[in-house]
Amino acid sequence: MIDDRADTTWDRALDDLFLRIGHRFARADLRRRMRDYVHALLGPVGRKNGWQLAEYAGHRTPDGLQRLLNGATWDADDVRDDLQAYVAEKLGEDGGVLILDDTGFVKKGTTSAGVHRQYSGTAGRTEIPQRGCPQPDRRLRRLRHHPRQVPGGPRTVFPGGADPQPKSWTDDRQRCRAAKIPDERAFATKGELAKTMVVRALASPLPIAWVTADSAYGQEWRFRRLLEEIAVGYVLAVPKSQQVPRFGRIDHLFTQAPQEAWERRSCGDGAKGPRVYHWAAVQLPAIEDLDGDQPTHQRWALARRSISRPDEIAYYLGY
């Protein structure tokens, strides 16, 4: 529960943060509005629309917050970099994990930037979501039994995400201009966006030891190769049809594994206690680095099998 003391602590922490990023806003009124906006996003507001956020912040109308978001001049990338430095200082620890995870924001209508009819994990069905890639609520998790998350509000992308625009949008420049999407924004796959954001995150002060992501990113061999070339470890989910050099499909590889190859291990505590699975791993042939040096990591194929439902197996490639 957030009591008065905790509320005061949050206020002081926000003041500390805004001392760092305030210079990104040219005028004092913009700095005040940005602080009010972030404070309202973090507050107990039922629906975080313009009117309710403004009311929580003590404004008579949402006009000021809307001008801040729609018309004021400030560089979101600079603010993102300041936020990264703040998070690295306050929460950063050696062994941090960079997690790539996109999400969808369910929308009504067809005018919000990037909306496209597709399956939405947020809604659990086919909807018209606006997708953030990787996921807003970017998380820098600690390698501990109880990972700590860095919270973000709606449309807050950390540590530097992007809004991927489907071809139905990028091929229609008039529609893009109506939604304020710059003309230079072109179509990019999830893997291409992930490469750009990972390189940016690795160049930041964030202490990143390795990278993990679901199969939408893990199946992209160019993304895996990028991480190998810069000697960053990864554990990436892949589909069961993933081809493994010299072994063929990854599911066929583990079908041939003897029973003693599977070990019972926990991958940490969940809401209902330890999350225990059967695990098996196979070391894969090394690929020499492009400059001829010996590789600094080993390559692995990994499988996680449900104990109660042994036909449910998830597959991963590791480095």
Contact between 279 and 265 under an 8 Å Cβ cutoff? The reply is yes
CA atoms within 13 A on the CB side of 171: 3
The two most distant CA atoms of the chain are separated, in Å, by: 69
List beta partners, residue 234: 211
To the question of pTM greater than 0.75 for the whole model, the response is no
Cα(221)–Cα(292) distance, integer angstroms: 20
Q: What is the pLDDT along the chain (319 residues), one digit of tens a residue?
A: 556 677 788 788 888 888 889 899 989 999 999 989 988 988 888 888 889 999 999 999 999 999 998 888 888 889 988 888 888 888 888 888 999 887 655 555 555 555 555 544 444 544 444 445 443 333 333 222 222 333 333 223 344 445 555 666 566 667 767 766 666 666 677 778 788 888 888 888 888 889 999 998 999 999 999 999 888 999 999 999 999 988 899 999 999 889 999 999 998 888 889 999 999 999 998 766 555 566 678 999 999 999 999 999 999 999 9
Direct distance between the N- and C-terminal alpha carbons of the chain, in angstroms, rounded to an integer: 41
The position carrying tokens 């992308």 is 157
Strands 103-106 and 129-132: antiparallel
Give the list of residues 6+ apart from residue 240 with CB closer than 8 angstroms, or none. 249, 250, 251, 313, 315
Closest CA to 112 of 52, 158, 166: 166
